[in-house]
A and B are shown apart, each in its own frame.
Chain A
Amino acid sequence: MKNITIRFGEVTANNNVDFELRKGEIHALLGENGAGKTTLMSILYGLYQPQAGEIIVKGQKTSIKSPNDAMTLGIAMVHQHFLLTPPHSVTENIIVGLKESRGLLINMSAAEKKITQLSEKYGLKIDPKTIVGDLAVGEQQRVEIIKALYRDVDILILDEPTSMLTPQEEKALFSTLQSMVRQGLSIIFITHKLREVMEVSNRVTVLRGGKVVGTVNTSETNETELARMMVGRPVIESIAHMGYSSNSPVVLQLKNVSALNNANVMFLKELSLELRRGEILGIAGVDGNGQAELAEVIAGLRKVQKGEIIMDGKSTTALSPRKIRELGLAYVPQDRLNTGLILEYSIAENLILDRWYFEKYSGRVFLKKDEMKKFAEKAVSEFEIKTPGINVPVNSLSGGNLQKVLMARELARNPKVLVVHNPTRGLDIGASHYIHEQLIKQRDAGVGVLMISLDLDEILTVADRLAVIYEGKIMAVMDTKDADVDYIGLLMGGKESAVYSKKEEAQDRK
Chain B
Amino acid sequence: MSLVTTLSQVPKKMRDVKTYIPFASASLAFVVGAVILASTDIDVGRAYTTMFRGAFGSIFGIGDVLVKTISLLLTGLAVSVAFKCRQWNIGAEGQLYMGALGGTLVGISLLGAVPGLAIFLVMLLSFIFGSLFALVPAVLKVKFGVNEVISTVLLNFVAILFISFLLHGPLKAPGFNPYSPEIAEASEMPIILPGTRLHAGIFIAVAATVGVYYLWKTKIGFEIKSVGANNNAARYAGMNITKSILITFAISGGLAGLAGGLLVSGVQHFLIEGISPGYGFIAVIIALLGRQHPIGVAVVAFFFSVLMTGSESMYRSLSIPTAFAMTLQALVLVFVLVGQLFIIWLNKRQTGRRLDLKEKWLAK
- A: which residues have CB within 8 A of B? 8-10, 301, 320-322, 325, 337-346, 349, 353-354, 356-357, 362-363, 365-367, 369, 389, 391-393, 395
Contacts and interface: CB of A to CB of B under 8 A. Distances in A.
Contacts, number: 76
Contacts of A354: 237-238
B218 A365 contact: yes
Contact of B351 (A9, A342, A367, A369): A9
Contact of B222 (A8, A338, A356): A356
16 contacts: A320-B238, A338-B232, A338-B233, A339-B232, A341-B233, A343-B229, A354-B237, A354-B238, A356-B219, A366-B217, A367-B218, A367-B219, A391-B5, A392-B5, A395-B357, A395-B361
Contacts of B237: 353-354
A340 B351 CA distance: 22
SS of B interface (majority): helix
Contacts of A362: 218-219, 222
B2 interface: yes
B230 interface: yes
Given A353-B237, A392-B5, 11 more contacts: A340-B236, A343-B229, A345-B226, A353-B226, A357-B219, A362-B222, A389-B5, A391-B1, A391-B5, A393-B1, A395-B358
A345 B357 contact: no
Contacts of A340: 233, 236
B274 interface: no
Contacts of A8: 352-353
A123 B188 CA distance: 85
B229 A345 contact: yes
B361 A9 contact: no
A325 B352 contact: no
Given A338-B233, A367-B217, A391 B238 contact: no
Contacts of A392: 5
B4 interface: yes
A343 B228 CA distance: 12
A328 to B, nearest CB: 15
A321 B233 CA distance: 12
Given A322-B238, A338-B233, A343-B361, A391 B222 contact: no
Given A322-B238, A337-B357, A343-B357, A353 B233 contact: yes
A338 B217 contact: no
Contacts of A339: 232-233, 236
B236 A349 contact: no
Closest 10 CB pairs between A and B?
A9-B352, A322-B238, A354-B237, A9-B353, A362-B219, A353-B237, A342-B230, A342-B229, A391-B5, A342-B233
Contacts of A338: 230, 232-233
Interface string B194-216: 00000000000000000000100
A392 B4 CA distance: 11
A325 B239 CA distance: 13
B4 A365 contact: no
B64 interface: no
B80 to A, nearest CB: 15
